Structure 1
Amino acid sequence: MAERTAPGGVQSVERVFDLLELITDAGGQMMLSELATASGLPGPTIHRLLRTLAAKGYVRQLANRRYALGPRLVRLGEGASQQMGAMARGELTRLVDQLGETANIAVIDSDMVLYVAQVASRHSMRMFTEAGRRAHMHDTGVGKAILAQLRDETVRAIVARAGMPTPTSRSIGNVDDLIAELHVIRERGYAVDDGEQEIGVRCFAMAVPNAPTPTAISVSGPVSRVDDSFAERAVPLLREAAESISRNVNLVSGG
């Protein structure tokens, strides 16, 4: 990893976050030697930074000498997720007003998808997913939209760690089939969950471009209402909402 200290930045702080991101991308655990190879930093420097992080609870050393993400990061992640949901709520409300179906925003979290906010449809028959719920990525619209942003080898590693349960007969249960669908999603620009989480429910999802962490939004409802004509209306509105959320998030983060 090349040095890229920002003007006026603190190199040691940037290195700390680089290490945390490397550990996260590797599934939450890495050996010191693996971190040295991936980061290009000297082993003693990495060890000193990790020792400081471990003392604060942001990493922990396992019995096999691998370094893992620590429990103190959970609180930070929960706070960041709540803020992401709060920033997106206006766009989710607009989607519900325009389309009449439930809208969600979700992020990747430890090889799963984490729903961080929802605005529910006003229909009596509607979808409900509680904020804070985690689900597998391969059988959800938001999960597949997020996976489509990642390299195929990263997707394979996530699936190997998280597994591929098939809650319905329509769920994808083979990683090669998943990779093939992700290629279609990248070309098409949006993902579809067609009864893969629950029979009779259809979801259209789209990635939020340039988000600080892989993020997607979706609209979902019963197939009796979420049909082809719904898709024609939903896709451009999802794209507008995703781009608006991206602008707002990057404005706040200074990106």
Structure 2
Amino acid sequence: MTVRSLERAFELLEHLADAGGEMALTELTERSGLPMPTVYRLMQTLVGHGYARQEASRRYALGPRLIRLGDSASRLLGTWARPVLAALVDDLGETANMAVLEGDEVVYVAQVPSRHSMRMFTEVGRRVLPHCTGVGKALLAQLPEEVAREIVGRTGMPARTPRTFTDPDALMAELALIRARGYSIDDEEQELGVRCVAVPLPQTPALAALSVSGPSGRMTPETVEKVIPVMRDAAAAFAVELAARD
């Protein structure tokens, strides 16, 4: 048996998250299809408990109490992912990562390093902008285009290397390609000499993606073609494991 008011409250929070974290009462009403008085009562309850807040503009935004829940969920998700990442390292020989989208930033929540002496290393907890990384683009590609545009509009698109996407329209075209083919590539866009492949993780409580990265000399285009199906299989297997935990 479900509690309908609780379901509706969670749906409103998800609408806020999908919209980048902030919406007006009228927008929430239109998006949810609920009567405005119902939306108002639910949002005021969420505000009262810290899961939402109301700005001076009267718009609603995600509240600070969600941060603690989100951090805990991300850490747990990263813990569950470590065996999958370890298997990727065994199969592919390169560093494997898991990252989630928190607000407008990519946060790395798990990593298993390569055994090579020359390897990529990103500490767990590191935050990066999404437009210039393989995992970031795999995360943005899971969002509607208008939401992805809003995110990069807020963060900006600074060039980390000469290969970084700095034009929003070009990035949106890249995201459309990623949605169609099911994986993204960071071709020296975050760091020269480093190539990364990332795949989205379906059915996770937060937007998440897996990545494998290594020196461009080892992660050649030919190697990338072999990496992609292995990563897809790993993502599908992790989705099955998550479903079994429900």
Q: What TM-score does the superposition give when structure 1 sets the normalisation length?
A: 0.91
Tell me if structure 1 keeps the 8 A contact 2:157–2:167: yes
- Paired position in structure 2 for 1:5: none
- Paired position in structure 2 for 1:170: 163
**How many angstroms apart in 2 are the aligned matches of 1:46 and 1:186?**
32
**How many angstroms apart in 1 are the aligned matches of 2:18 and 2:143?**
11
Tell me if structure 1 keeps the 8 A contact 2:95–2:112: yes
| 1:113 Cα offset (Å) | 1.6
The two structures, once aligned, show a CA RMSD in angstroms of 1.4
Secondary structure of 2:132's aligned partner: coil
Runs of 5+ consecutive residues of structure 1 not aligned to the other structure:
1-7
> Which of 181, 187, 191 is the equivalent residue of 1:198?
191
Runs of 5+ consecutive residues of structure 2 not aligned to the other structure:
none
Deviations 1:111-158 (A, max 9, x none): 222211111112222111122222111111011112222322222222
**How many angstroms apart in 2 are the aligned matches of 1:128 and 1:238?**
19
Q: What is the one-letter code of the residue matched to 1:153?
A: E
Tell me if structure 1 keeps the 8 A contact 2:89–2:96: yes
Deviations 1:140-193 (A, max 9, x none): 101111222232222222222222111111100001111221222233321110
- Paired position in structure 2 for 1:89: 82
Q: What TM-score does the superposition give when structure 2 sets the normalisation length?
A: 0.95
Deviations 1:37-95 (A, max 9, x none): 21122222222212221221111111111111111100100111011111111010011
Tell me if structure 1 keeps the 8 A contact 2:119–2:215: yes
**How many angstroms apart in 2 are the aligned matches of 1:30 and 1:97?**
45
Kindly tell me the number of residue pairs found equivalent between the two proteins.
246
- Paired position in structure 2 for 1:38: 31
**How many angstroms apart in 2 are the aligned matches of 1:114 and 1:226?**
23
Tell me if structure 2 keeps the 8 A contact 1:211–1:250: no
**How many angstroms apart in 2 are the aligned matches of 1:179 and 1:28?**
20
> Which of 64, 67, 74 is the equivalent residue of 2:67?
74
- Paired position in structure 2 for 1:9: 2
**How many angstroms apart in 1 are the aligned matches of 2:3 and 2:111?**
37
Tell me if structure 2 keeps the 8 A contact 1:95–1:103: yes
- Paired position in structure 2 for 1:210: 203
Secondary structure of 1:242's aligned partner: helix
Q: What is the one-letter code of the residue matched to 1:42?
A: P
Secondary structure of 1:138's aligned partner: helix
Give % identity: 55
> Which of 123, 129, 154 is the equivalent residue of 2:116?
123
Tell me if structure 2 keeps the 8 A contact 1:102–1:121: yes
- Paired position in structure 2 for 1:3: none
- Paired position in structure 2 for 1:246: 239
| 1:15 Cα offset (Å) | 0.7
Q: What is the one-letter code of the residue matched to 1:224?
A: G
